[in-house]
Structure 1
Amino acid sequence: MPSHAGAPPSRRLFLAMSAGGAVAGVAALSGCALQVSTGVSGSGETVTLMVKPDDISPELIKEAQKDLGVKIVTVRYDITKLIGMMTNGNPPDLVRGVGAVDAPYFAARDVMEELDPYFAKSGVLKLDDLDPVNDLWRYDGRTQGKGPRYGMAKDFSQDSMYWYNTALFDKAGVDYPPETEPVTYEEWLEDAERLTRRKNGQTTVFGGSYNGVLTPNLLASLTVAAGGSLFTDDFSRVDFTAPEARKALGWYIDYCRAKVGPSLIQPDPNAWDGPSYQANRMAMSNSGYWLGGVINADKKLAPLSRLAPAPVFEGGPRVSPCQAGTGLWMPKKARNKDAAWRVFEWFFGETPARERASSGWGIPTLKSLRSLMPAQEDYQKRVLKVQNAELKHFSVIAFTPYASADSLYALFNQIAPAAMNGQMSVDTLAGRLNSVMNEQLKRGKEQVG
């Protein structure tokens, strides 16, 4: 560490944001931010949460203050603000993150607190009760999914699964997918083409939407489904020209070219699948179990809607990953760690966790809460049967620690539309993506050291 360790590093260093919001220089935070004393927790302490408004309601915050005797202050999640607070030696006590992509990124930069000692002592969050999805929040210095725990997911979905509207299938004369056996990605796309409806050059019904949580995570998942890996063994490079990654990229570009669903070149005016699916204008939506939170609220739509397993590529393995795993982590320099852990336990194992589990907006991340998942109606029982069968196909798909998913997403969005519009071949696209993404990954690896 250079001689100025102990003084806060310059904000300029951290706020040099590369394309799409990757943070240049978070690495320097590890030993450089101001040292702060960790107060011992007790009643009346204040815990600062950096979250999005829908992560925790004002009612729950009031309840926490009553139950725990801890005051909770929320700051709206903002990556630039987070870096600023960490740089100034005054980070939040708990920070929202997307486990699938944020955990390796921040853990590699040594700014996250290892939570194993806290889990070991917890009477609320027991290790044998943790769903395997929480392994997205583990990182051993090299690979995601192993090593110390740095956070936990609040709920999850297997994001390659998809919902479908049986009424639209009936109307188009398309057979329903099997309940627990996967279709191939090619079959999914053929069905989407048959289900799409157009009038006067406008798409009136999307046959199917398949964009994943964010394109880089989607392509990483599709590549594993094709039998390969998007990243090299040390995660320092991507290779879209490798046969499996090329197959994954080719399929996704075919999906965009077919204009059967929303994409960069045919955006959904609602910006997400929910409203189009609710309005009977989308026959299949690649949204995992969590979309049931929207569907169940519509008593006409819910009985017509079914959940299907993640598709497979012919000859590839059956994988059903989680591309998000949103939850919380604790910065290494947080001031109120013990009080923050008490809030963490409450958020992930007590009232908020029980409320989330019974809402149908996601699968609980504690196995002991699964019995709270909605199962009153026949259609809910059917969804649960499909979902429970799919759980055994979950696996962690490790993401690179050397670039933020947002920055890779921005690079993809700059280059890919030409290929989606048929003005560039998939092979040319693969080469260009390698070139720009590997430059980004190289810079990130230099920062992490």
Structure 2
Amino acid sequence: MPMPTTSLDRRRFLAVSAGAALGASALSACATSVNSGDASTSKTTLTVMSVDNEMDKKTIQAAEKALGVKITYVRFDQTKLNAMLAAKNPPDLVRGLGAVDTPYFAARELMENLDPYFAKSSVLTPSDLDPVNDVWRFDGHQQGAGPRYGMAKDYSQDQMFWYRTDLFDAAKIDHPSATEPLSYDEWLDLGKRLVKRRLGKVKVYGLSATALGNFSPLMGMTASAGGSLFAEDLASVDFSSPEALKALTWLIEYTKADIGPNLVNPNPDGWDWPAYQAGRMAMAGDGYWFGGAISGDPKAPEVSRFAPAPQFGATRISPSFGATGYWIPKSAKNKDAAWKFFEWYFAGQPAKDRASGGWGIPTLKSLRSQMPQGTAFQKQAFEVQQRELDHFKVLTFTPYVQLAALDATLNQTLPQMVKSGASAGKVADKLNSLMNDQITKGKQVLG
């Protein structure tokens, strides 16, 4: 049965959001930080909550010129967003991760249903939308169905990986296939063979498998094994199921092996590129977007190749953990102007620039031909990616708790239990207890 989608009042929303700690003074500050109009002109002021590298000065100026509006930029902060939503004074546009944000905000009736806008648009038509945009749909029970609440700006299938041929050749190891996926056990074994240590410390990572978090990859691995981390009603997780336990056991073994950045020994760089660029990482578990960084380097493209997502079983899937894009809050003040931004940003020149830059797969099918193919490196990556599109699948996330909370539980629990030598079964029991308590509390708020 679909869960209820009762709207939250201010007190109930704050009780289960990061904004609870802000209190009334923070709510007041957030509300006054938004410019809801420009007294000196007749221009509409569009408030956009995003991140610096996407909503930079150049992009803001281009948007203002193209749309005839004034842009007020608010740096993304989850606590601030939750507080602004609770105060019913949200931004007009919010950057979000469709794969995990949609159920949470849609179930609380905080997102505007964009179906009427898509129906009238001449440039953003449902028939041209890449299937990844279905993660921005939610019918109260599952993602991939129901109204559209947002759109991805670009995306990657995030369990695919890049590898350096020079490090494989130096170790006299055959390159991974560009057409047939490795098993997760094969991938882990390669990482163990490629790691290099000196005086007990890792000098060259063999494999980076958790650059995009830990909970989302576990969802993907469990689905690849033929199961689901979440129960059918999305009201609980079960790490003890055969499929989920298989995935969790793999993550524990990867962590214990210390062949790449992990929860016990995290990456001091914060992300994979510095080590990969310097030849200190043989395999980087990052999707197509990582090719944008590789392309910008004078040497890395010559020794870099792209490979399909590893698999656990016969159920071959290749999900997206982000599908980053934008959505319009239900209580936004300038929804029509926000939609004009949608059309410009997702179908206009910004979308064409993103498509040709190699930092992600365009989310309009009509723009796929603009993905870079000018070099041997780009052509190889493009061909591998095109074949992988057939294996994309929407994974439904729970509406009762945010991803950050579940990742935080993993981050706090797994290192302690790995160091203590706890079995995978005991780790599963502990995660089930902690996470299901979080989910239950979130469900109680929705009623």
Whether these two folds match at TM > 0.5 is yes
Rounded to whole Å, the distance in 2 between the matches of 1:125 and 1:403 is 31
Identity of aligned residues (%): 53
What is the match of residue 10 of structure 2?
9
What is the match of residue 50 of structure 2?
51
Rounded to whole Å, the distance in 2 between the matches of 1:188 and 1:422 is 26
What is the match of residue 423 of structure 1?
421
| Residue deviations 1:254-279 (CA, integer Å, cap 9, x gap) | 11111110001111110111111011
Aligned pair partner of 2:446 in 424, 445, 448: 448
Partner amino acid, structure 1, of 2:103: P
1:222-237 to 2 correspondences below 5 Å = 222-237=221-236
Matched, 1:321 2:319: yes
Rounded to whole Å, the distance in 2 between the matches of 1:447 and 1:357 is 41
**3-state SS of the aligned residue for 1:54?**
coil
1:20-35 to 2 correspondences below 5 Å = 21=18
- Over 3 Å counting, the alpha-carbon distance change for 1:134 and 1:23 in structure 2 is farther
Partner amino acid, structure 1, of 2:293: V
| Paired residues of 1:22 and 1:403 also in contact (CA < 8 A) | no
**3-state SS of the aligned residue for 1:418?**
helix
Rounded to whole Å, the distance in 1 between the matches of 2:299 and 2:20 is 45
Partner amino acid, structure 1, of 2:270: A
What is the match of residue 435 of structure 1?
433
Partner amino acid, structure 2, of 1:294: A
Larger deviation, residues 71-80 vs 243-252: 71-80
| Paired residues of 1:22 and 1:404 also in contact (CA < 8 A) | no
| Paired residues of 1:164 and 1:306 also in contact (CA < 8 A) | yes
- Over 3 Å counting, the alpha-carbon distance change for 1:130 and 1:7 in structure 2 is closer
1:89-104 to 2 correspondences below 5 Å = 89-104=88-103
Matched, 1:341 2:339: yes
Rounded to whole Å, the distance in 2 between the matches of 1:260 and 1:241 is 26
- Over 3 Å counting, the alpha-carbon distance change for 1:147 and 1:212 in structure 2 is farther
Tell me the TM-score normalized by structure 1: 0.91
| Residue deviations 1:298-356 (CA, integer Å, cap 9, x gap) | 1211121001000111x331000001111111000111110110011111111111111
Larger deviation, residues 325-334 vs 76-85: 76-85
1:34-433 to 2 correspondences below 5 Å = 44-211=43-210, 213-313=212-312, 315-421=313-419, 423-433=421-431
Deviant stretches of 4+, over 4 Å: 5-8, 13-18, 21-24
Rounded to whole Å, the distance in 2 between the matches of 1:17 and 1:444 is 7
Partner amino acid, structure 1, of 2:309: A
Larger deviation, residues 321-330 vs 63-72: 63-72
Rounded to whole Å, the distance in 2 between the matches of 1:8 and 1:67 is 37
Deviation at 1:214, TM superposition (A): 2.2
Deviation at 1:8, TM superposition (A): 7.1
Partner amino acid, structure 2, of 1:169: F
Listed as ranges, the gaps of 5+ residues in structure 2 are 1-5, 22-30
Partner amino acid, structure 1, of 2:268: P
| Residue deviations 1:132-182 (CA, integer Å, cap 9, x gap) | 000010000111111100000110000000000000000111111111110
Deviation at 1:422, TM superposition (A): 5.2
Rounded to whole Å, the distance in 1 between the matches of 2:418 and 2:51 is 33
Count of residue correspondences: 426
- Over 3 Å counting, the alpha-carbon distance change for 1:419 and 1:175 in structure 2 is farther
| Paired residues of 1:138 and 1:146 also in contact (CA < 8 A) | yes
Rounded to whole Å, the distance in 2 between the matches of 1:59 and 1:390 is 34
Deviation at 1:86, TM superposition (A): 2.0
Rounded to whole Å, the distance in 2 between the matches of 1:253 and 1:45 is 52
What is the match of residue 30 of structure 1?
none
- Over 3 Å counting, the alpha-carbon distance change for 1:93 and 1:413 in structure 2 is same
Deviation at 1:423, TM superposition (A): 2.1
Tell me the TM-score normalized by structure 2: 0.92
Rounded to whole Å, the distance in 2 between the matches of 1:190 and 1:227 is 22
Larger deviation, residues 222-231 vs 84-93: 84-93
Larger deviation, residues 370-379 vs 418-427: 418-427
Give the aligned CA root-mean-square deviation in angstroms: 2.1
